[in-house]
Amino acid sequence: MTPIRYGIIGSGMMGQEHMRNIALLDGARVSAVCDPDEGMRMQAQALAGQGAQAFGDHRALLAADLCDAYVLAAPNDLHAGLMRELLATDKPILCEKPLATTAADCRALMQAAEARRAPVWVAMEYRYMPPVERLRAALAEGVAGTPRMVSIREHRFPFLAKVGDWNRFNARTGGTMVEKCCHFFDLMRLLLNADPIRVYASGGADVNHKDERYDGRTPDMVDHAFVTVDFAGGTRAMLELCMFAEGSHWQEVVSVTGEKARLDACVPGPARFAPDGQERHSEFVISDRVTKREIREVVDVDARILRAGDHHGSTYFQHVRFLDLVRAGRGTPEVSLADGYWSVLVGEAAEQSIRTHQVIDLRTNGHSTASAA
């Protein structure tokens, strides 16, 4: 089997997580890495191993034509520009979330990709967490009945340090609701099988990074929030986010409730942030309304896969599917540019709602319009 050669554009923390997971795949290798930061570039080249080339500029990497597929993991505010250049190639692309920092840029990328034959996959890793996949399978089997409500809670650690501190400001990230929470808005839409129509959010930047200064500026990223999302057809979802809750037993709990049962996917945080430094199993729980019984299942994940990243194995399982698509040379990505757009649209609306204390309506040609709460 001829190995599929990957080029990694953006070789920081998330880029290197992608590399560790690609290394676990049969018939895949990283042939080139790119990052303007020399330290990250050298780390990534060493991680890629013998024969991998390193570039300080993405245009030089593209011109070298060493790759069969590209993974984009640069800072958020660079995604739109880099994606426009990647879309001009004939190679498959996996773009880290968010697709861009604004819904307008996402729409422009969708338009630019209309005539493209090679697939573009938006990296929504949380879909592929094993307990979430177990929940999705049970939902498809009708265990919950018709899904009416989705509730997602994430209680976790603050944003980590990144090169250039780019993740401290809304201007470069799109805001916490885009940078972090686009994952959850994507899950809501996927689990309810409906499009969002209305968003209301309340949140603030009250605890994290308050003593930090960057060129005299204080970070402005929201560190906690409640977000309510109404969906077409009358279903609804909510998010509870707290980024100063490192001691939580479960980092994420994703719940879907129908007329028959509630389904819970319970996910621990990364081992490196646990008090004992050990990986923990996730769980899947069925709370049956008819029998009044609770059924708990341990969801086991291979330790090698857990060690390859901070997302409970999801990056690996996503890459397995992306590699299948690349090898087939045709087919539809499981996470499309449209999916990436919707997740950013809701995140952008949630940021707007936090600032204005208004309900944001999404139904005017994909553009947000505000009304009094």
Strand 28-34 to strand 358-364: parallel, antiparallel, or no bridges (unpaired)? unpaired
- Specify the residue for token string 């590699």: 323
**Helices 314-328, 130-140: inter-axial angle, 10-degree rounding:** 70
Nearest CA among 258, 205, 195, 257 for reference residue 230? 195
Q: How far apart are the C-alpha atoms of 242 and 222, rounded to whole Å?
A: 9
Taking only the tens place, the pLDDT of each residue in 272-282 is 888 788 889 99
Amino acid at 126: Y
At residue 203, what is the residue type?
A: G
Element holding 52 (H helix, E strand): none
Contact by Cβ (8 Å): 120, 147: no
pTM score of the predicted model? 0.95
pLDDT of residue 369: 56
Q: Look up residue 259 and give its DSSP letter.
A: S
Q: Domains of the chain by range and CATH?
A: 4-125+326-334 (3.40.50.720), 127-302+342-368 (3.30.360.10)
State how far the Cα of 335 lies from the Cα of 340, in Å rounded to an integer: 7
Euclidean distance between CA atoms 128 and 318, whole angstroms: 6
Single-letter code of the amino acid located at 222 = V
If you search the block for the tokens 């070789």, which residue do you land on? 11
Q: What are phi and psi for residue 353, nearest 5 degrees?
A: -65, -40
Q: Which tokens hold the place of 127?
A: 């879909």
Count of Cβ atoms closer than 10 Å to residue 280 Cβ: 17
Q: Give the whole-angstrom CA distance, residue 128 versus residue 134.
A: 10
Tracing tokens 């930090």 back to the chain, one arrives at 212
Structural contact between residues 16 and 42, judged by C-beta atoms closer than 8 angstroms: no
Beta bridge partners of 263: 256, 286
For 191, phi then psi, to 5°, come to -70, -35
List, for the chain, all residue ranges whose pLDDT scores fall below the cut of 70: 365-373
* pLDDT for position 285: 98
Contact 261, 291 (CB under 8 A): no
How far from chain centre, in Å, is Cα 128?
10
Using omega within 30 degrees of 0 as the cis cutoff, is the peptide bond preceding 275 cis?
no
Residue 278 pLDDT: 84
Burial state string for 312-329 with b = 16 or more CB within 10 A and e = fewer than 16 = bbbbbbbbeebbebbbee
Burial of 158 (0-12, 13-18, 19+ CB in 10 A): middle
The closest alpha carbon to 305, from 293, 318, 296, 290, belongs to 318
* Residue among 98, 105, 56, 74 at smallest CA distance from 339: 98
